Amino acid sequence: MYKKVNELITLLENSGKCEVKLINREKHNYGIETTTKLPWKRHSKRFGKIHAGENRLRIDLEVPENSIPMEEINNAIKLPHREYLSHLRTSHFGLTQHEKGYDTVIIQIYRKELDDYSFEDEPFASFVNKVIEVNTAK
């Protein structure tokens, strides 16, 4: 689990535009923050969280409303969309649209599929870089 978390953290921090900070050591929660304030979210630098649980890795990435098309998210993440699953014990992603002008992409990868999931895969890495770009654009 932690090897994959470190792989994800490395991908995020290699941009030089964000950093990952430990929020809760016991729960293995991390915050993803820009080095400056977010242009679309007042009083905050955080645009994501990583939750490394016992059985799954959950990644929440916030982006300005409608800034990344669903098709692009789907092609990059390469996991089924939550609404098409009969049960949620399968790795998946979802999109939550908030009334405050932002969307949250939620990615859940269960332990049994985590070793085979590559955060360094080109479509996923490009997606993460786009998330970082839309959150650091002036």
- Looking at residue 67, its pLDDT comes to 93
- Looking at residue 41, its pLDDT comes to 79
Question: Residue 95: exposed, middle, or buried by beta-carbon count in 10 A (0-12, 13-18, 19+)?
Answer: middle
Q: Give average pLDDT by consecutive 10-residue segment, the chain, 138 residues.
A: 92 94 94 89 90 95 94 93 80 91 95 93 95 89
CA dist 127 and 122 (Å) reads 8
Q: Name the residue type at position 4.
A: K
Q: Write down the H helix ranges in 1-138.
A: 2-13, 70-77, 111-114, 122-136
CA dist 61 and 47 (Å) reads 6
Where do we find the tokens 């649209």? 97
CA torsion angle 106 111 115 118 (round to 10): 0
Distance linking the first and last C-alpha atoms of the chain? 35
- Looking at residue 130, its pLDDT comes to 96
- Looking at residue 100, its pLDDT comes to 85
